[in-house]
Amino acid sequence: HTIIRKINKEHPDPEVIREAGGILRAGGLVAFPTETVYGLGADALNEEAAKKIYAAKGRPSDNPLIIHITNMKDLERIVTEIPETAKKVAESYWPGPLTMIFEKAEIVPYGTTGGLKTVAVRMPDHPAARAVIDAGGGYIAAPSANTSGRPSPTCAEHVAEDLSGRIEMIVDAGPVDIGVESTILDMTVDPPMILRPGAVTREMLEELIGPVDVDRTILSAKSRQAPKAPGMKYRHYAPKAGLVVVEGPEKDVAEWIGRRTAELQKAGKKVGIIATEETKGLYPQADVKVAGTREDEGTVASRLYAILREFDADGVDAIYSESFDREGIGAAVMNRLLKAAGHQIVKLPAKEQD
Least distance from ligand TXA to the Cβ atom of residue 260, Å: 32
Please choose, from the candidates 320, 241, 242, the residue with its C-alpha nearest in 3D space to the C-alpha of residue 285. Answer: 320
Q: Which parts of 221-329 fold into alpha helices (H)?
A: 250-266, 297-314
- Looking at residue 79, the DSSP 8-state letter turns out to be B
Q: Which entry of Mg ion, ligand TXA, none binds 99, CB below 5 to 8 A by partner kind?
A: ligand TXA
Least distance from Mg ion to the Cβ atom of residue 63, Å: 9
Q: By C-beta, is 135 or 238 nearer to Mg ion?
A: 238
Least distance from ligand TXA to the Cβ atom of residue 212, Å: 16
On whether 144 is known to bind a ligand per the annotation, the reply is yes
x/- mask, Mg ion, residues 100-139, rule CB under 5 A, reads ----------------------------------------
Contacts of 97 (CB under 8 A, 6+ apart): 35, 36, 124, 125, 178, 182, 183, 198, 199, 200
Least distance from ligand TXA to the Cβ atom of residue 54, Å: 10
On whether 61 is known to bind a ligand per the annotation, the reply is no
Least distance from ligand TXA to the Cβ atom of residue 258, Å: 35
Please choose, from the candidates 218, 122, 232, the residue with its C-alpha nearest in 3D space to the C-alpha of residue 178. Answer: 122
Q: Which entry of Mg ion, ligand TXA, none binds 340, CB below 5 to 8 A by partner kind?
A: none
Q: By C-beta, is 34 or 144 nearer to Mg ion?
A: 144
Least distance from ligand TXA to the Cβ atom of residue 59, Å: 8
| Residue number closest to ligand TXA, CB atom | 231
Asked if 90 and 72 count as a contact pair (C-beta separation under 8 A), the reply is yes
HSE value, Cβ hemisphere, 13 Å, CA-based, for 91: 9
Least distance from ligand TXA to the Cβ atom of residue 149, Å: 11
Among 46, 99, 144, 217, binds Mg ion (CB under 5 A): 144
- CB atoms under 10 Å from CB of 180, counted, come to 28
Distance CA 123, CA 63 (A): 20
Footprint of ligand TXA on this chain (CB under 6 A)?
34, 36-37, 39, 63-66, 99, 101, 113, 116, 118-120, 122, 142-144, 181-182, 184, 195, 228-232
On whether 146 is known to bind a ligand per the annotation, the reply is no
Q: Which entry of Mg ion, ligand TXA, none binds 142, CB below 5 to 8 A by partner kind?
A: ligand TXA
Peptide bond into 95 cis (omega under 30): yes
Contacts of 154 (CB under 8 A, 6+ apart): 37, 38, 175, 176, 179, 302, 305, 306
48 sits in which H/E element? helix 47-57
On whether 182 is known to bind a ligand per the annotation, the reply is yes
Cβ burial 201-237 (10 Å sphere, 16+ → b, else e) = bbebbeeebeebbebebbbeeeeeeebbbbbbeeebb
Distance CA 43, CA 24 (A): 6
Q: Which entry of ligand TXA, Mg ion, none binds 119, CB below 5 to 8 A by partner kind?
A: ligand TXA
| Residue number closest to Mg ion, CB atom | 144
On whether 164 is known to bind a ligand per the annotation, the reply is no
57 sits in which H/E element? helix 47-57
On whether 166 is known to bind a ligand per the annotation, the reply is no
Based on the shown chain and the rule CB under 5 A, indicate whether residue 99 belongs to the binding site for Mg ion.
Answer: no
On whether 152 is known to bind a ligand per the annotation, the reply is yes
* Site for Mg ion, rule CB under 5 A: 144
Residues annotated within the binding site for ATP are 59, 63, 118, 144, 152, 196, 237
Residues annotated within the binding site are 36, 59, 63, 68, 118, 122, 142, 144, 152, 182, 196, 237
